[in-house]
Structures are given as structure tokens and as C-alpha cells.
Structure 1
Amino acid sequence: MSTSIPAFGHFFPKNCLCHKQLGQVGCPRPFYKEPSNCYYYQFWSWRETYCYTIKGVPDERQFSDPPDGPGDSRYQWKIGIYNTTAAQLDRDPFETQDSGPPMPYELPDRTVLLPIDKCPNRCYGRGWCVRPNDPPHETACKCLGFFKGKMCEEPLNEHCYQNCSGRGTCSGGWCKCDPGYWGLGCTRSKAYTADVWLPHPTKLKVYVYDIPEHIAFKKPWHDLPALLDTMYLAEVAFMDQLLGDWGVRTENPWEANLFVVSTYTIYYTGNIGFPAKHFSTVFNYVRTRFPFWNMTAGRNHVAIATNDRGCCDLYKLARQQPELQQPIKLVHFAQAGRFGRGGASGSDPAYEAAVREFQRLRPGAHSVLEDDEGAEGAVAGGGADLGIDRVRFRGIPAYSLDSLRMEREPCFRPEQDVAIPNYLERSWLQHIKAAYEWVAPPEGAAGPGRMRHKPLERKYLFHFHGFTKPDMAYSGGVRQGFFAMYSNITREDMAINKGNGAEWMLQSRFCMAPLGYGWGIRLTQAMHTGCVPVLVQDHVYTAFWDLLPYEKFSVRVTRHNLHRLFDLLEAITPEQLADLQQGLADYHMNFVWHPDVGGLAYNNTITSLHRRLLNLWTALFRSST
């Protein structure tokens, strides 16, 4: 297959044969009935996917250069159809039927994809060829993320750590090191051998594996929409600082007590994909080529998953793939599993616990539990066959069986894993300057000054801007209940879906921070803008929960009390609000990943890892099975 287009996906149509090949690994047979579990985004929205074939050309000669416009008669356009009957019979359900070209025939930036030969030097194989729909309609190369220039001829050095530390050259996001240096960012210069592993007994010593590019690497941005969002790049920020932190990092693995495995999972899974398959690939590489994994069964290894639901799917596989459970995980989504009574070997205790609650809420539901689709439909409609005799939370709509299961999934082990804040790009630093200021101590007083919350006019009591979905698994029902109860509120001091962005948060005293399908971005945004976060996240550990005194700068509200939300906020006195705002001033930098402005997110992550190491030495890590 030609690789003239950087990646298959929704925005960049491909040859239908390429989709067929990708399906062999992107959505294998176990996922035919549940395409939302597929490894690749494209199969989640197959009914919206366009592809094409070249007329009269055998399969082995099909390629993915796009048509020369929507009217190119050499091409037959097709659209995906999902064959439910085939899926039930365990046959490939991802089929196509003839259609016209996608309309409007353009990419999100209003450009038209052209055959690569239409651009000079075929963009050096580092981009794709486009023509703007708007004047002057000049054909140009659209470069992959690691290159720039009219023909994508220039590498972008910032995609290599510290421009390869001045010891090499950056090409395509990969360092070509000078003689005598190697490793990520050309940071290594010594090799060590030993007969005995003797980890340092007091100091944290971290060894970073040099994972080859074909196993795990920062890929250039492509057309998977989620990968264009910088809020998932905490792993990149963490690794960039760790590589230069020789107070913690060691070149000698024989003295290391923690081993970091750079998986760059978000580049492989997108925001709502699942990391288990990629983690398995990387972990297998490490444990079969280095001796250190097997010395603790991987429990002193560290991996990062910043995707929406973090490591939920890893912990579901505890019995099938115990090696996936062992390493310490750095995640944004730190949901603790809740099972109640244990299930039989090989069972799904989260599902069994959800079934029990589902039956408790709707006694008639047991008659359809054998058919998940029937149960889901009956609950969504509140059907008479089931009869809803109990409300789970006042004001919040009925929950489906699957939503109950998802909120009981084990996604985080507090004694082992670390909850870290998401990344916000540098443009958010200006909002910190708008929200806080440094004040010197009073004249004659001893000690340094301190940050304080600026006395801005915050005319809104409350701010939340966002959307919701019918699926109650989204936000655990918080957004659905919130909009059901408050969407029609007319109070002037409530900024509910009036506008998004920091400018609204800077004008508000309290900002709601619910979940999405996994973690939510609004806690970090609130800390940057001086808006007291109102956390409505039941059963979820927040970032650095064991390091930071959340009671000093945030408000916790459970779903049980969501119907009393504004009563609770209005009961907070001006003096109590001032204390919370001072707490924001004292602790907001703990959520910032940029070290040059005093961001402490990396420092806190290292402190948390040291604590997890002590937990390991104290035998507090639970069994993986």
C-alpha cells in the first residue's frame, strides 16, 4: 500500500483495501460485536467512513493516492456499512457500498486532498498535497508534525529532547547522536554491567529505557482528531524533564530502584482508545531484553496512560494478563473499583456488582439481563416492563446497566498508581498572571512574600460550559443530571453555557469540574484561572490527592447532593471563599507542567513515585490476580 497519505482516518479517506488490512489488527474478531472496543478510531464510526477503489484494478495494485477531485472518473467512492448479522455470526461486519464522494469535499481546514504527484518533490514523503478551497487556491504541502517548509524539507528540532542536548541532530523527531552518545535526546554516554542488582536504598534512582522507534515513539500528528489536542501531552512534558534531571535519573540500571518505560500511549490509542495492546507490546519488549523486569515481576517499572479512561482496560485483564497490572501507572483518570462481593474465577466482578445494583434499582430487570442490548434499551426508555421503583440520585436520570458497570471498573490502585494533572499549553500561563499576583511581606515583617488571589470582580457565582450525552456512562450521570435540573435557570449570576474559555472562568467564583468518559480538564483550568473548582467526581482520586490539601482550595459535591448544589455554594461565607481563593494562590502551580515559570507538576510526580517505591518496599502493592 502507498503511504503517501500519513494515516488512515475519518478526515483523510483511504482506499477501501487499506481499511480492510487495518481491520485485521485494528478490530479483530473479538470486537466485531462491540466496535467501540476496537483499537483504531475508524471502526468506531464506520458508518460515517468514506473510502474508494480504483476501477478495473486488481486488489494487489490498488493504492491510496486520492482522486484528483470529487469528479475523478477513475475512482469509485464507497461508504461503510456495519453488518449486524455478520457480527453475530463472528464474521467481519465492516462492509462497504457504492456512494458518491463525501460532501463537502474538503478537510476541516477547507483544503482539498490531492494526489501527492501534484506537489513538488512529492513533499519529500513527509506530508500530503492539498489545495485550499479559498483563494488563491495554490497547491501546497501540508507537512507531518516533525517537518516544515514548502516541500516539508526542514526538520522541526523542538520535537527532539533539548534539540538532542547539543550532541546530535534532530531528524523526523529522532536524534542522530554524535559518536560517544546515544539514547533518548543523546543523553547517555556510559554503559554499565554488573553481576548483582543493588538498588539504591535511600535515594530515588530512575533508569529510563531506550525504547526503539518501532516499539514506542512520539509519532507525528495525523488525522486522528484526538491526537491534535495538547491536553493529553503530560507524558511528553514529564519525559522531557526527567531526561535532564540527573539528580533523580541514573545511567546505571544496576543501582536504579525504578525503571521508566516510555510508551507514548496517547499517540497509539487516541483519547478514547485502550492501552492494553500497546502496553503489552512495550512490556514484552522490555521483559524479554532486559533482566530488571523479572527481578520484581515488573512492579518497580513505571508507565504512563493519559488517555480518557487511563488503565481501566488493563485492570479488567488482571487474570488473563497479570503482567499488565504490575507496573506503576501514571494516569489522569484515577477511578477506584467497587465490587462488593467477589466473583468467581474468570468473571467480571465490576459487571456482577453492576447487575446487583441494576436489579436493586429495577427489580424486573433480571428478566432481560441475559441480553445486554435489551437491558440497555429498556432502561433508556424507562420501560413499563422493568418499572423504575427507586431513584438512584435525586434529579439524575435512570442509569443503564453498562453505565453502572463502567463506574465500578478498577482503573486505579492508590497504593501503587499516581494520579497526575493534565497538560495545558503555554497560552494558559497568561491566565495565571491574570488571576494571581505576588505580594511582598508588610514593611518590617520577616519572611518572604507570597502569592495571593487577585481581587478581580468575579460577577458570576458559578460557571460551567459543556455538553452532555444520553449515555449515562458519560460523566457518571453528573452532566445529565445537572442540565436536567439547571439548564433553564435564569439567574444573572450563573454562567451556564454562556461561553467557554478562561475569560469566563476568570469572572466566576466557582467552576464545576465533572468527568467526561474519563478524566475532565476543568480542574486544571480552574486552578489556572483562580476559580474554585467544584469537584463532582464520585469514587475518583484527583491529581496528587495524597500530596495536596484539596480542602483548602476546592469544594466536593457528591451526586447525592447535586440537587442542592447552589444551596451549598451560597452557604459558603465571604470569609470562607477568601480562604479557598488563597488556597488557589498557594497551590495552583502544582498543576502546571512548565518548569521555567515554577510549575511543580513534575516535582510532585517524582515525589509521588518515591512514595510508591516505599509502598513497594513495604509490600503494600496488592496481588495482580
Structure 2
Amino acid sequence: MNCNQVGTCDALKGLCTCPAGWRGFNCVDPMKRYCTHKYRDAGFEVPLVPANLSAGVGGPHMNMFPRGHCGGFCDYNTAGCYCPSNTTYGRVPAPLDAPPGAPPVKQGRPMFQYCQPNKMPDGSDTVWGTVDPEELYGPDGWCIADAPKLQCLCYLDGWQGPTCEERVEMFCLNQCNGRGECVHGYCKCHKGWHGIDCAHRSADVDDSSPSLVEERPWIQDFMHTPAAQDFLPGATRKRPLIYVYDLPSDYSTLMLQYRHGVDSCVPRYFGTGNSTLHSIEWVYMLETGFVEMLLQSEHRTLDPEEADFFYVPVFSSCFTHPVRDTADSLREFFYHVSMNRAQGAINMVLEAYHWIQSHHPYWDRRGGRDHIWLFTHDEGTCWAPAAIKNSIILGHWGRMDANHTSNTAYGHDNYSQDYQHPQFDPEGFQKKMAPWLPCYDPQKDLVMPLQKRPDHYHLSPLLGGATRERAWLAFHRGRVQFELPQYSRGIRQRVAKAAEEGRWREKHSMLVGEREDVEGDYSELLASSVFCLVMPGDGWSARMDDAMLHGCLPVIIMDEVHVSYESVVDISQFAIRVPEADADKLPEILLAVSGERREEMQRALARVWNRYAYSGYRAYKPRFLELQAQHAAARGDNGTAAQNLVLGQPSTASRLAPSLPEAVPDLNPGADDAFTTAMAWLYSRIPDTR
């Protein structure tokens, strides 16, 4: 049935990959994601009146957070909320007799979390809304006026401008190679092309058909597929060769279509005029970023028979947040049988595992040892299902103790909380996991650096920035959360209390606190500190990578936990480990490190820092080079002219190390960066998987 005209046909397997709103082997079965209209708090459901405000479409569904509520028109494919159809800028759906997947007659202005009415037409409180209906539906309202007084968020990918009516390109992995239409992260490939990024072609594809690059030149910089070329016999290839599975969209691109937030779940997106913008807030962006790097890499192969490894692109972090925040409305969604976000994500991973095992021979061939999974969520490597524990697990959380329990401060992520359900095994949910095994095994797994955009470390001397006095002995800015003692294993709370009671800032030039306590440019603060504290958060912490990217010596305070690349880089050359029991003794420990030793450590750090930056990523490389050029111009002929610190002169500045490491202005951004380091490590692992 040609995938019901809405999906993409895999010409090799004869299977359809379906977009949001459709499922089944031929994309004929509807899969609706309704907007939610109940409020849930502490396990109690409080029914509300239907959400049919004006001419909107709604229904009685529920949700944990108010993001899924809709006081307008609900798109049942993605749970997107728009202005009602009878308003000037309302959503007008496709006619009932339109072909499947037809676009709406009128897109309509979006109504998101903070653009929901706080009153019903009868004046009663909606509970979930925050905006006076007059600001939405009045003469100057968002849904009525040409120039409304209220500015709602353009939360959907592909729409920009003051009123969210400027059409721009949407994010898709590898931008569908220019061989398909990008629809909120899903590639609807042109005839003869298929795959997660339309890189695979059938034998009778019409190569004369033009690529979309000719009409959309702005996607050119985000398309690169060396694996698609015809290699001559005996051609030299870059190993390891990695085959990226083309899974059903349910486990990957469907999550991108369901995301509410243009910069959620993705490392980049298109802004006004199709300019390139880098995501800032979503900390789990390596989940999609690493896949895109693989797809664009010379290590990718389109032939599974020659692959050294098999990568499984499951977007469990995107599912966990933000998609799961509104997923209770997915009545027919197969992750629904879960009591919290971690369990839903485990079900998702297990579904993907069973699909691979039933559709391909490669898992059983080596028991999954040559398969790669990535878990970027807070404690993701800990709740990885037992069924895939033979595989290579990439993640950010290097916890190594066995028989572990969750340390999360948030109940909806607690993987140790067991539940009974008719669809679970009689022993309960825990049987699906392997808590008796460590979350991370340094012999076969790898702790990956977080993906940080170049502007995150824009003032780093290692990027060529002007060297500045490292005037602060130690630095840490981040959440403490005294009200949640289990957060950070209690380490951050203990250090913050000791810093306040011991007056570390005044006595020792040590900055420790939350954002309101430690103000200033984060990059400048890191580049102005000798030591940077690395303590856990709700699982992993980004502080190791922040320190490395700024030439700040890491001080690691978490027992039995590996930090990024600790199994492949000798961090003892530039980092200090402090037992959790000695956390309140930091001043004496750090002051005991001689100036000569500090300089030695800083030089060692400078030799490996780029292994913690994804500087070769095609979306980041231009900005990386641009910052290098700007810093070079600012330095002039002085090379490393010092820059005064604007944060105040601490009392111990004269006792601290000089401004090291020096600038590295000519670094090739793709040389030995985080991605190539992971590839080199995987190459070394090939014999162990056979």
C-alpha cells in the first residue's frame, strides 16, 4: 500500500517506517496522541471540564504536568496545541476527504505551556492555565490580533518570528541527505531512498532526481554521508566500521516529532532566515548528536555484513524528558505500562532489543557483544536492561559499585522502586534490570563527555582566549538542594555547608554555591580558577567536562565513579581525587599542592583537553574556528596578553599558580576530539567482541 502514502518504504526489508500519527507494518493504523485535560498531583487525579474552549478539539485525558493541556485546537498526531479554528490565527485542519498525512489548511499560532487560559468560559479556574483568556482571545489577543500584546513561545520546530509564522527548516539527522522531506525530525524519503537519514537507495533509484540542496542551500552544511559512495575493491576504510540500525521510528524519530520545544532533544536547529542555532538547555543532546556524527562519519557502513559494530539509535532520554512529561495521554503507546519515567524508558529499550533480535541475525551471532547503546539520562547506565548488558554501554554515569540502588532525588526517575502489574513478570519490575551488576564496567563500557557547544567554553584559553589570572583557588557553581538530602549523595550539601561555615571564599578564595550565590560569566569563572570541583548531581555531573574545556584542574569527589574517559586517559596527570569522607577538608588538601605541581598538571591537561570537546562535529566546527579567529585578532601580536579579572581580587591571588595553560590558537578542531577518541577506543575493543 506504499506505506499509506505517509511513511517510507525500506526497499531492502519491505517494511514501512511511519511518522507520528500512524503505525503498523503499512502505516495504516492510526496512533493518536491526545492533549491532556486532567491534573495529577501526588497520585491524585482531579477531573476537569473538557477543553473545548471556543471551537477547539479536546477530550478527557490526563497528564503529570500541564504541558499537554490545550485550551485551543489539539493536533492528535503530536499533541501540539494551536489557536482555535474559529479565531483569526487558528489551526484549520486538512479536509476529512484529504489524503492521509495531508498538511493543515492553515498552520495556526501555537499555544504552549505558558499560553493556556486560566479561566473557563463560565469563569471557573482551569487549574493548569496561567494566562487571562482576554490575552488569547480578546481584540489584542494572541489568536486574534496581527500584532498581539502577548508573545507566546514558538515551541514547534520549523516556525520562527514574533508570531511564529515564519517557515524555516526543521531538524532532521543529516538533513535527510537532501533526499527526503524533514518533518519534525522524521525523514519522509523520496521514492527509492530510505533509512533514518535517507542514505540507503534501492537499485532502481533515479539518480537524476535533484537533491533538495539546490532549492535549500542552507542544509548543505549538515549533509555528509561518505558511506554512500561506491568503494573500489580493496579500498582503505577507516575502522571501526559501524552499522547504524534503521529501527522503527517508535524508538527514535517519533520522539523528535513528539518533543515540545524547538531545542529539546536535538543539538542544533534552524532560526530566523534558516540561520544555524545551537541548543543550550537540553543537557542530553549527545543522544541525537552522537548519532548524527556517526551517520556523517567515515566509520559508518551501509553494509551490515562488513560492520565491526552495530549502533542502536534509541532516544530514551528524549522519551524520558520532555516526551514522557506528556506521555500519559498515549493510551495505545506500548511504553505506557510503567509507573515512572525510568521504567517507561526500560520498556522502550527492551522493545528495540526484541525488534533487532527478531529482524536481524547480528545480535545472536555474538550475543550482542558488538552492539553499542547510548544512555545519556542521569542514571541511565544503571537501569539499562539485563538483556543488553553484554553490549557496549556508552553513557555519562560511570558508577561501578554492584548491587546498587537509585540515588535520584526525584521519585519519577527512581529505578529501584518496584511495582506489580499484570503485564510484568510475577517477580515484579526489577527482573528486567540487573542491579546486581555495576552500572558501568570499565572493561567494556565507556563514560562519554557531554556534548557542549563551543560558546559554552568561549573564554577558555585552550580555545585561544586571552589568558587571565587564575585568581580563584577552587570553583563550583550548581544546584545544592538542601531540601533533597539524597541529591548528589549529599556531597554538594556537605561541601556547601563546610564552605559557608568555614568562610572558604574569604579565607581561601574558593567559590562554592548556587547561581544566585556565585554570579558572573560561567566560562570566565572556570577560566579564572585553578581547581574545579567535580561532584555528582542527580547521577552524572557535567563538571568534569566543564573543567577540562577551560584548563581548570578537576577535583573529583565521588567514590567508585569514573568520570569522562577515565578508562582511556590517565587523569592522575591533571586531576585530584578526594574521598567523599574528606570533602570538608578541601582547603588544606588543595593548598598543599605546590605551584610546581599545579603547573605540571595544567600542561598535562592542555595535551588532552580537546578529547573532551566535540569540536569536529559539522554543526560546531565553523563556530569553533570563528572563536579561534576572534581570539587571535584580540591578542594581536602579544600572543598571550593577560586579561584582568572583573570578579574582584581574592586575598590569596599572589599565592596561586600563574596563568596556565597558555593559549592553543592553531588547534585543528577535528584532531583527536571526543568523537575520534571514542572511535579509537572502539577500534581497540574489536578483538574483545569476537
- Whether the TM-score (by the shorter chain) exceeds 0.5 is yes
1:138 deviates by: 4.7
CA distance in 2, matches of 1:311, 1:113: 45
Matched letter for residue 198 of structure 2: C
Q: Tell me, yes or no, if structure 1 residue 14 matches structure 2 residue 51.
A: no
Structure 1 314/174 Cα, relative in aligned 2: closer, same or farther at 3 Å?
closer
For 2:33 and 2:178, the matched residues in 1 are separated by 32
Correspondent of 1:66 among 65, 71, 75: 71
Show CA shifts across 1:486-510 (max 9, x none). 2234343122224252222222111
Query: Post-superposition shift, 1:417?
Result: 1.5
Shift of 1:253: 0.8
SS at match of 2:193: coil
* 1:605 and 2:678 matched: yes
User: Which residue is 1:285 aligned to?
Assistant: 355
Alignment partner, residue 229 of structure 1? 281
Structure 2 counterpart SS, 1:184: coil
Structure 1 pair 222–585 and aligned structure 2 pair: CA distance change class (3 A): same
- Aligned partner of 2:491 in structure 1 is 478
Q: TM-score, normalised by structure 2?
A: 0.58
Letter in 2 for 1:66: G
Alpha-carbon distance between aligned partners in 1 of 2:52 and 2:150, rounded to the nearest angstrom: 32
Aligned residue for 1:336? 400
> Over residues 513-532 of structure 1, what are the superposed CA-to-partner deviations in whole Å (9 max), with x where a residue is unaligned?
10012100111111222221
Q: Pairwise CA RMSD of aligned residues?
A: 4.2
Contact 2:555 2:575 in 1 (8 A): yes
| Equivalence for 1:101 | 127
Deviation at 1:549, TM superposition (A): 1.7
From 511, 522, 526, the counterpart of 2:543: 522
Per-residue deviation, 1:14: 3.4
Q: Note the residue ranges of structure 1 that are not aligned, 5 or more in a row.
A: 20-41, 78-99, 121-128, 193-199, 339-348, 355-371, 373-405, 438-452, 618-625
1:215 and 2:251 aligned: yes
- Asked whether the equivalents of residues 208 and 249 of structure 1 are also in contact (C-alpha less than 8 Å), the reply is yes
C-alpha separation in 2, matches of 1:291 and 1:114: 55
Q: Structure 2: state its 5+ residue gaps.
A: 1-20, 23-31, 62-68, 73-115, 204-226, 228-235, 266-279, 323-339, 408-416, 418-433, 625-668
Q: Could you say which residue in structure 2 is the equivalent of 1:494?
A: 510
Deviations along 1:268-287, one digit per CA (max 9) or x if unpaired, are 11299423121112112211
Q: 1:184 to 1:517 in 2, by over 3 A?
A: same
Separation (CA, whole Å) in 2 of partners of 1:531 and 1:112: 52
Alpha-carbon distance between aligned partners in 2 of 1:171 and 1:155, rounded to the nearest angstrom? 12
Contact persistence 2:180–2:187 (CA under 8 A): yes
CA change 1:75–1:417 in 2 (3 A) is farther
Q: Which stretch of structure 1 is more off in the superposition, 324-333 or 159-168?
A: 159-168
Q: Deviations over 1:464-501 (max 9, x none)?
A: 12232344432222112212322234343122224252
Distance 1:72 1:152 in 2: 27
Correspondence 1:313 to 2:383? yes
- In structure 2, how many angstroms separate the alpha carbons of the residues matched to 1:463 and 1:517? 19
Q: Check whether the contact 1:335–1:409 (CA below 8 A) recurs between aligned residues.
A: no
1:569: how far off? 0.6
Task: Tell me by how many angstroms 1:584 deviates.
Answer: 2.5
Q: Look up the match of 2:470.
A: 458
SS in 1 for 2:187: strand
The change in CA–CA distance for 1:112 and 1:593 in structure 2 (over 3 A counts) is: farther
**Mapped contact 1:462–1:509 kept (Cα < 8 A):** yes
CA distance 1:305–1:130, shift in 2 (3 Å) = farther
Matching residue's letter, 2:382: C
AA of the residue aligned to 2:294: L
Q: Secondary structure at the match of 1:185?
A: coil
Q: How far 1:314 moved relative to its partner? A: 2.6
Q: Distance in 2 between matches of 1:265 and 1:141?
A: 25
What is the one-letter code of the residue matched to 1:231?
V
The reply on whether 1:54 has 2:50 as its aligned counterpart is yes
Change over 3 Å in CA distance of 1:462–1:46 after alignment to 2? farther
Match of 1:300 in 2: 370
1:238 aligned onto 2:290: yes
Which of 230, 240, 250 is residue 204 of structure 1 equivalent to? 240
Q: Identify if the C-alpha distance between structure 1 residues 74 and 604 changes in structure 2 by more than 3 Å, giving closer, same or farther.
A: farther
Inter-CA distance 215–74: structure 2 relative to 1 (3 Å threshold): farther
TM-score, structure 1 length as denominator? 0.63
Instruction: Call closer, same or farther: CA 1:112–1:170 in 2, change over 3 Å.
Output: farther
Aligned-residue offset at 1:426: 3.2
Query: 1:236 Cα shift?
Result: 1.8
The reply on whether 1:174 has 2:186 as its aligned counterpart is: yes
The match for 2:612 is 591
Q: Residue 428 of structure 2 corresponds to which residue in structure 1?
A: none
How far 1:566 moved relative to its partner?
A: 1.2
Q: Compared with structure 1, are the counterparts of its residues 111 and 268 closer, same or farther at alpha carbon in structure 2 (3 Å cutoff)?
A: farther
1:118–1:139 contact (8 Å) kept in structure 2: no
CA contact (8 A) 2:37 2:51 kept: no
Deviation at 1:72, TM superposition (A): 1.9
**2:313 pairs with 1:265:** no
Percent identity of paired positions between Structure 1 and Structure 2: 22
Which residue is 1:94 aligned to? none
